[in-house]
Amino acid sequence: MKDIKRATVAEIMRDPAKYTGSEVDVKGWVRTRRGNKNVQFVALNDGSTIKNLQIVFDLSKFSDEDLKRVTTGSSIHVQGELVASQGKGQSVEVQAGELEIYGTANPDEYPLQKKGHTMEFLREKAHLRPRTNTFGAVLRIRHAMAYAIHKFFNDKGFFYFHTPLITASDCEGAGAQFVATTLDIENPPRTEDGKVDYSKDFFGKQACLTVSGQLEGELGATALGCIYTFGPTFRAENSNTPRHLSEFWMIEPEMAFYEIADNMDLAEEFIKYCIQYALDNCMDDIEFLSEHFDKELVERLRFVVDNDFVRLPYTEGIRILEEAVKSGRKFEFPVYWGVDLASEHERYLVEEHFHKPVILTDYPKEIKAFYMKLNDDGKTVRAMDVLFPKIGEIIGGSQREENYDKLKARIDEQGLTGMDWYLDTRRFGTVPHSGFGLGFERLLLFVTGMQNIRDVIPFPRYPGNCEF
Ligand code: 4AD
Ligand code: MG
């Protein structure tokens, strides 16, 4: 092999003219090989782009023996001249001069032979599925979205604030937490009344994996002004739906001096920014996914960017749903004031009634978390959920209760303990403040058009599954 600097397929495809006529050095995995006795064509992919680079092997230069081992899934290193392609489907190709085979992939054993595997099959082969076109596209978009999120907040002067993954508090108060313990679970120490004695545990108290970084995020916001978190969260709910994971990533901005309307403006601007970023930077991958899974994908993305979100109080939303029921629309779950909306209700409002994303506000306090600011009616709280087509709830947030006495009362009502540190933000220099949480994988569901949340994260965790 000659001493030539390696180029990725993405680099070559971005500026083919720069490389045409000169020798290139490329490395990657073989997607397919086809041809005849005289010439063989290899589609090479190195993960840098959805696009394959065509490598042409002239069989007067390469032996059958060599090429026999160049099968789907094998990894190779090629040097040769980049030339304008004669054939259809690609603008340039490499005329192979040198070939090195790094690793073969026995065709009788390598599972990703043919195209068009089902998502279910690929989920069973989750350790190899990043090598498929579909997952390559999804994972590149996932990266781009993470970058866009950091860029959005950084450019706005928000600070990335790291909240703990192991915590002693339960933010959402739903009790759906995984316990983090080093106690001998076969034979744990017990208190006199027979309960597990967590004072003997690793941290000297019961600790769990976090369901949200919000409460700690509020400590950051009431010092730094505007912060955001971006990290994994864990929920031990037994939800086997295409929209729930047991481990998912969440982005939680928290802003001092923001009221609910400011919070809604930010949420709308933020999500539109992310989607516009995908349209501007991920079109190759989006077009691939659109072509294979969801013909309306691009249109749907543009639609969200181009339209104002509807802002609607919960009570109005219920009225619209009740009207729909009266005129014969059937729902699986009942509709009445006070009910926690199901995804079918959310999607009705978005997809059938308004045909636009909806920000639903002012929910009954009983169905929302303790930290939300109570409205003057004493019945509803300043919550806001952003509802999206195909997804339902994509963002959940609220203005926070900044009044010490009201917050203390809600904490006591719910029997929460150990919250003095949180209450201190309201005891010392309390300010109106707001925030929200965007489910990263729900955003990715929307942007990629994938149907199941298990297919937009490399290693999904859900009830009954913890592979790798
Ligand atoms: O509505 P949630 O539970 O809100 C909170 O956790 C707040 N502490 C956020 C805040 O105000 N800082 O969750 C926020 C979002 C949901 O809207 C949804 O997109 C996503 O997180 N989410 C899930 N995504 C995947 N799997 C699950 N099990 C999810 N649960 C919530
Ligand atoms: Mg929610």
Nearest-atom number in ligand 1 for the CA of 393 is 17
- Architecture category of domain 129-160+222-455 in CATH: 2-Layer Sandwich (3.30)
pLDDT digits (tens, 9 = 90+) for 398-446: 999 999 999 999 999 988 889 999 999 999 999 999 999 999 999 999 9
Number of separate helices (H) and strands (E) present in the chain:
14, 15
pLDDT for 175: 67
Say if residues 317 and 362 touch (Cβ distance below 8 Å).
no
What's the whole-number mean pLDDT along residues 162-176?
85
Among protein residues, the one whose CA lies closest to atom 21 of ligand 1: 439
Residue nearest to atom 15 of ligand 1 (CA): 439
Q: Which pLDDT score, from 0 to 100, does residue 178 have? A: 96
Instruction: Report CA torsion sign: 190, 191, 197, 199.
Output: negative
Q: Per the structure block, which two tokens stand in for 44?
A: 């090479």
pLDDT tier, 172 (very low <50, low <70, confident <90, very high otherwise): confident
Q: Using a 6 Å cutoff on CB, does residue 230 contact ligand 1?
A: no
Residues 6+ apart with CB under 8 A from 337: 315, 318, 364
- Rounded mean pLDDT of 268-292? 98
For ligand 1, atom 20, the nearest C-alpha belongs to 439
Amino acid at 316: E
Task: Output the average pLDDT for the chain.
Answer: 95
131-135, 152-156, 278-282, 414-418: segment of lowest average pLDDT: 414-418
How far is 200 from 37, CA to CA, in rounded Å? 73
| pLDDT value, residue 86 | 83
Q: Whose CA is nearest to atom 7 of ligand 1?
A: 437
Q: What is the pLDDT of residues 60-104, one digit of tens each?
A: 999 888 899 999 999 999 999 999 998 887 899 999 999 999 999
Domain boundaries, the chain: 9-103, 129-160+222-455
Distance of CA 225 to the CA centre of its chain: 26
What phi and psi, each to the nearest 5 degrees, are found at residue 6? -65, 140
117-142 mean pLDDT: 93
Give per-residue pLDDT as tens, 7-39. 999 999 999 999 999 999 999 999 999 999 999
Q: Is the CB of 235 under 6 A from ligand 1?
A: yes
Helices (H), 260-313: 260-281, 283-293, 297-306
- The CATH classification number of 9-103 equals 2.40.50.140
Distance 15 CA to ligand 1 centre (A): 41
- 53-58 and 392-399 strand pairing: unpaired
- Report the separation in Å between the CA atom of 88 and the middle of ligand 2, taken as the mean of its atom positions: 49
Ramachandran region, residue 426 (left: φ > 0; alpha: ψ -120 to 50; beta: rest):
alpha
Residue 116 has pLDDT above 90, yes or no: no
